[in-house]
Chain A
């Protein structure tokens, strides 16, 4: 036999995982007939495509020889190969009747030449170890619109297994692997693995050309099949027609809307605004130019208004309201409404309704505006109650000394006259006092109402607390009534717009001011 023929005839399937025998064949020198030890046959590759049959191939020797393959199953007798031809030259094909799985085959090939026999090495295998499937076939692609949220195309790749009857009974279960790459990038394969179904959908492929291939493997085998034939996939870079239409519509509607707004709405914006948000009438005072009111000079305005009774030009300093209290009296909480009897001052039970800003002492007691009939007052003198003889209270930081009386129907203060006669019909009581001498007056309640508060002054803590609560409630009621008034006062002190609508109550209340 011509050595070249020998070389050419080593056709048999050359697997990807073939052992080193192949290399040996290629390196064999055609003229090297008498080479020692290298010229024995060798079983280099066995394969089962479906775990039912299998084939083994061997490398022949250079000389012309007759080959005999003998095998044994487990510890059974030596048997000869049943079929030397179905698998090609130098092969042995074991059909279904001769194949047992989970059994141990050991086989040797003997090359019988006229001179001597060459026996190969023993090759042992278990059929489950050599299961290698066929490569998938009919790889095809179909491009469609990606539904749902995806933009662009979705690429559906599908293939078939060339011998699907193998898969029918579950004896073999396949798992696939798909690889794809862009045409230019040769090594940048991306893989989709594992796939149980013979199809896969790829999303988000950028427009361009791709190369796709797929292979498969039996679930419980280690060996992958060969790669299928590669497929060229071209992903177009046009948006699908439906999306183009949507885009055109959206852009058109947007442009029209923009034009409408630019030419229709904006020139009429004033009218539209007036329609939806009617203007609030500006403040008007008859006789005075509204423009003056809007942005006038304060001097002018003050001049105009100065003939209003009780109008006071706004001051722009933040003045704090002090509560009217004797200097130095110190009580921590409203609970212990006892008094610290100090040397010089008495407690002035004026309720502090609003938190003071300069942490003045907090004095509690009955509201100042409860009129106490003089007899009741006299009776209380002994008890260490909050009602003690009123005395002069010196207010710190002011030029005035005011006399504050408790429970006296008249608590209205007039600074230059400390010894004023007490009882008056007009019940106004001082609540807060400022450094500059201003006082905050609140209307008082008539005597009958106060009766509840001034009943027998039992120096009992519980009763005192009860009275405290009542007075607090009353004070809150007062506070609510005065809230608006107080707001106005605060505004005035805070340099607000001096031209806010003035309520009639305020004018009355302001009569008491200096």
Chain B
């Protein structure tokens, strides 16, 4: 929650970028003053400029992937908490991906396909998925308060946390995508048509809740994987980030 402000392009980040640029400029100056030969100087300058420009995006991507990691672990915890009091009979009826409201989005199905997708498309996919979960999360949140489940307060607070993380992650990805070009800006709309009411009787409500949570878990895993691939690709100069 306290990292929310980092996602916005506010003072701290701008200042940080400015500081980095300042150090980059001083680096360049010192390099120039050392009187390196012309060719080497050019290459070093290019390297420094590339590094200077790449570092902020790296940092942002790192934070974004940390945020998405947190989101995914939260959704996993939610599922576990739902199952802790009821036998996982609902587990056997795992939702078919085609049933989730986000199934219309074409995502890569395995690693090879994922590695072939361009960065902008990966970013666009992640953002579309995030955007598509804003409404369902609100539905989950309102229904969690009256959920016929013993751990409903804990579930409700986790869903609220999820909403906050999702919101800040969406903001951050908006900023990141603005650096990546128009392809990253495109978002597919994934409307949620399930309605605000989850059902009338206890079993239906719980089933629907479980179903939504499973879809959420899958989608948060997708977002997390895409962002991690993006982070690794952007961190060519820093392989330890992979």
Report A's interface with B, CB cutoff 8 A: 51-52, 74-75, 96, 99-104, 124, 126, 128, 167-171, 173, 197, 219-220, 222
Contact with A along B96-128 (1 / 0, CB 8 A): 111000000001011110110000000000000
Contacts of A197 in B (CB 8 A): 240
For window 72-102 of B, CB contacts with A under 8 Å fall at 72-73, 76, 92, 94-98
Q: For the complex, is B167 an interface residue (Cβ under 8 Å from A)?
A: no
Interface residues on B, range: 20 to 34
Identify 12 residue pairs between A and B in the complex whose beta-carbon atoms are under 8 Å apart, listed by A's number: A75-B96, A96-B111, A101-B109, A104-B94, A104-B96, A128-B218, A128-B221, A168-B232, A169-B111, A170-B230, A171-B111, A220-B72
Decide if B218 touches A52 in the complex (CB within 8 Å): no
Roughly how many angstroms separate A99 CA and B108 CA in the complex, as a whole number? 12
Decide if B110 touches A170 in the complex (CB within 8 Å): no
Decide if A222 touches B76 in the complex (CB within 8 Å): yes
Pair count A-B, CB < 8 A: 70
Q: For the complex, is B228 an interface residue (Cβ under 8 Å from A)?
A: yes
Decide if A171 touches B94 in the complex (CB within 8 Å): no
Contacts of A167 in B (CB 8 A): 242
Chain B contact residues, majority secondary structure: helix
Chain A contact residues, majority secondary structure: loop
Decide if B94 touches A126 in the complex (CB within 8 Å): yes
Question: Contacts A96-B112, A102-B222: A220 and B232 contacting too (C-beta < 8 A)?
Answer: no
Question: Contacts A74-B96, A102-B222, A220-B221: A170 and B231 contacting too (C-beta < 8 A)?
Answer: yes
Question: Contacts A170-B228, A170-B229: A100 and B109 contacting too (C-beta < 8 A)?
Answer: yes
Decide if B97 touches A104 in the complex (CB within 8 Å): yes
Roughly how many angstroms separate A222 CA and B222 CA in the complex, as a whole number? 15
Decide if B94 touches A124 in the complex (CB within 8 Å): yes
**A50 vs chain B, min Cβ distance (A):** 8
**B101 vs chain A, min Cβ distance (A):** 15
Q: For the complex, is B28 an interface residue (Cβ under 8 Å from A)?
A: no
**A124 vs chain B, min Cβ distance (A):** 6
Contacts of A128 in B (CB 8 A): 218, 221
**B28 vs chain A, min Cβ distance (A):** 30
Roughly how many angstroms separate A173 CA and B72 CA in the complex, as a whole number? 14
Pick from A51, A96, A102, A171: contact of B107, CB under 8 Å: A102
Decide if B229 touches A102 in the complex (CB within 8 Å): no
Decide if A74 touches B97 in the complex (CB within 8 Å): yes
Question: Contacts A52-B111, A96-B110, A168-B242: A103 and B97 contacting too (C-beta < 8 A)?
Answer: yes
Contacts of A102 in B (CB 8 A): 97, 107, 109, 218, 221-222
